[in-house]
Structure 1
């Protein structure tokens, strides 16, 4: 493991978030960030070359720039000194404010200078993106996965540090199992996160997603459609006789989970246990039970 990664994990998510106050781009009054900000010429500030966020809404930037002209930059940017030039500062958090300030033709910006490694700099940038109100569900889920896979954080640790529920993070990360085409439609806001969650377990998510878009279906309409499909009669199968112990165990598990449980035992070769959930709320509850958090 690299030294940078050890440093990042040693500081922890909570420590890395100490400078990240609630987003000030909405121009609400926030508590002042810890430490003393200093003023730096705008031309001496450069963006993070590894910034995870690549697309910035131009209309939103113009709106923020107009607010900055009247009220200035309320929340300082978080920066570090450039590794190759101590007179240049790299943005750790606040690139959106920096871009809007340039549109507003500000010559100086308030910054908080912090010492971050390359790994920590990327981690904070990911965290800041997660806090954006306009972040789509797929990019948010990808950010959680990046925090966990690249920095070794667990769902529980990420949830605690970011003030999210573990089930929220787990539900979003399941969206990354959808085909890339469906994920792209979510990014383009042709599908909502609710639509995407309903498609996670279906056999033909691309086909159903296309139907949702063409017909302008609501999430409730999609869930009703999927329930109708799951309730459709199937080809009759030979009904296998189950012993009394297996039937009793199915009844006990069904009563405990409040969901239908079926057991197909194959002797010494093991078997299958099938749990049927009715809707997304039941699925979320099942996930919490399996994770030991219910």
Structure 2
């Protein structure tokens, strides 16, 4: 049966459990909803008839959510006739190709294809038009500690940072280096150089910095953060809550 374009009652459509994208920016959704109110939905979503009830979303969940937000009762949809396995595979692949997924969402989508469809890394690479090492390196991101994965999802660190952290041989070292990235605002290049130094060297440096932070904080009675780069340049940040705190800092400096 050929795909059919039809207007469907939005309440008959249900999300797909294999949707790779897990996080939707509420501001972007609101902006898209306003555009849909003014201009209508230009690109239809893709669905299939659900074996249980109504229709199951295959691709276009962001548009679907924005239409719900816009208060639409009906939505244009392309209806495809697909089996459960075909629906899962197409949903994952179409969303991987279209959506701006973060690296963890992308890796989880590849993992879904491998586990549910029993595909090899080579087969996933062929489906996605990627190299096998790209798929393998993407999946390795799922081995990172939860704190680092969350930071990667939120774009606090880059995929380049994450791959360098994976080169460390323990979770403890990964978390320690991760904190250094956040504290010193390291680029990937700076992190690479930092990790090449002997571990005892940068541990000693971190301990010294922490001690100095405590001493200055005690002297001022205010929170102090010291950030040091690999080139030994850096910043000293003093946090104050009011004008009295600020005047106390000035008096100490004078």
Alignment of 1:171-186 (within 5 A): 171-186=137-152
Q: Report how far residue 213 of structure 1 moved.
A: 0.8
Equivalent of 1:143 in 109, 115, 128: 109
* Runs of 5+ consecutive residues of structure 1 not aligned to the other structure: 1-33, 233-294
- The normalised TM-score by structure 2 is 0.69
Q: Report the Cα distance in structure 2 between the residues aligned to 1:142 and 1:189, rounded to whole angstroms.
A: 16
Report what 1:106 is aligned to: 72
Q: Report the Cα distance in structure 2 between the residues aligned to 1:176 and 1:81, rounded to whole angstroms.
A: 33
Q: Report how far residue 221 of structure 1 moved.
A: 0.4
Report what 1:221 is aligned to: 190
Report what 1:159 is aligned to: 125
Q: State how many pairs are aligned.
A: 196
Q: Report the Cα distance in structure 2 between the residues aligned to 1:205 and 1:132, rounded to whole angstroms.
A: 32
Report what 1:201 is aligned to: 167
Report what 1:250 is aligned to: none
Q: Does 1:41 align with 2:21?
A: no
Q: Report the Cα distance in structure 1 between the residues aligned to 2:198 and 2:37, rounded to whole angstroms.
A: 55
Q: Does 1:69 align with 2:37?
A: yes
Distance 1:147 1:209, change over 3 A: same
Report what 2:180 is aligned to: 211
Q: Report the Cα distance in structure 1 between the residues aligned to 2:126 and 2:111, rounded to whole angstroms.
A: 15
Report what 2:223 is aligned to: none
- The normalised TM-score by structure 1 is 0.60
Distance 1:163 1:137, change over 3 A: same
Q: Report the Cα distance in structure 2 between the residues aligned to 1:111 and 1:224, rounded to whole angstroms.
A: 51
Distance 1:35 1:133, change over 3 A: closer
* Runs of 5+ consecutive residues of structure 2 not aligned to the other structure: 202-254
Q: Report the Cα distance in structure 1 between the residues aligned to 2:187 and 2:155, rounded to whole angstroms.
A: 13
Q: Report the Cα distance in structure 2 between the residues aligned to 1:173 and 1:51, rounded to whole angstroms.
A: 17
Q: Report how far residue 52 of structure 1 moved.
A: 4.6
